[in-house]
Amino acid sequence: MAEDWRGDRVEDVRQLIRRAEPDVVEEAKWRKPSNPDGVPTFSLDGLICTVETYKDKIKVTFAKGSALPDPAALFNAGAGVRRAIDLTENDALDADAFVALVRAAADVNRA
């Protein structure tokens, strides 16, 4: 994991996902030489989201983002079925709205 602000942001997001759905399963997938830690994925009755680290941001991609309500307009990236939230170092994240989004994603998986 990145040992700078990106690692801290990933940890913040991880804690919010666990707050939303305590039974979520986290796995690292898609390991490769350029990313030996892989990509954290979060599942509960199906994939909820992935959290990727880039040079200038972290990206939280919701597998079924197009099916989710987003009244706080958190989504700022992605298209089609997948929608994402790009977070740079100084971006604010509405924790309550994010938790609601994760819960909605889990509900879609359960349906």
pLDDT tens for the chain, residues 1 to 111: 567 899 999 999 999 999 999 999 999 999 999 888 899 999 999 999 999 999 999 999 999 999 999 999 999 998 889 999 999 999 999 999 999 999 999 999 999
Write down the H helix ranges in the chain: 5-20, 95-110
pTM of the complete model beyond 0.85:
yes
Q: How many CB atoms lie under 10 A from the CB of residue 87?
A: 23
Contacts of 84 (CB under 8 A, 6+ apart): 59, 60, 61, 62, 65, 75, 76, 77, 78
